Amino acid sequence: MTRYERFEYLRDKGWTYNPETGEVFNSSDKVCSKIDNRGYVRCNISIYKKGKIFKSYSLLGHHFAWFWVNGNVEINNIDHINRNKVDNRICNLRNVTSQVNQWNNNGKGYYYNKQTKKYHAQIALNCKPIYLGLYNTPEEARQAYLNAKQKYHVI
């Protein structure tokens, strides 16, 4: 089953989505609230035959939300704009490339270089590191990274 086929199956079984709260409701009108080991809401699907579970699938809550609002569209990566993995309100979701999804993180942008005894700042663009300089303090290195982030990671 593709992600969209899973969505259609759930929708046909009576599952719904509230775009304002971000909640997914199952056919019994209960909130889908299972959180997986990566911190995302996961909707579990069991297909029964002769009273027994025939197959089990799952669909991430933010994927269900995206399909509910946008229909059968190609999904690259659904990004949570505010970085809260359980906030599935449609205003907090966007379909982005893998690279843009990586930009929306809380990375430090620097590390301590033992050889130079300074903080090495860098940023990545198109899977290539861009050297931002060596700094005496972590605050200076972080600021260099944040400045570069505004320049290179424009969404």
Condensed to tens digits (0 to 9), the pLDDT of residues 4-45 reads 888 888 999 999 999 999 999 998 999 999 999 999 999 988
Residue 111 CA to residue 41 CA, distance in Å, equals: 33
**106-155 per-position pLDDT tens digit:** 778 899 999 999 999 999 888 788 999 999 999 999 999 889 988 887 76
Domains of the chain: 3-95 (3.90.75.20), 107-152 (no CATH)
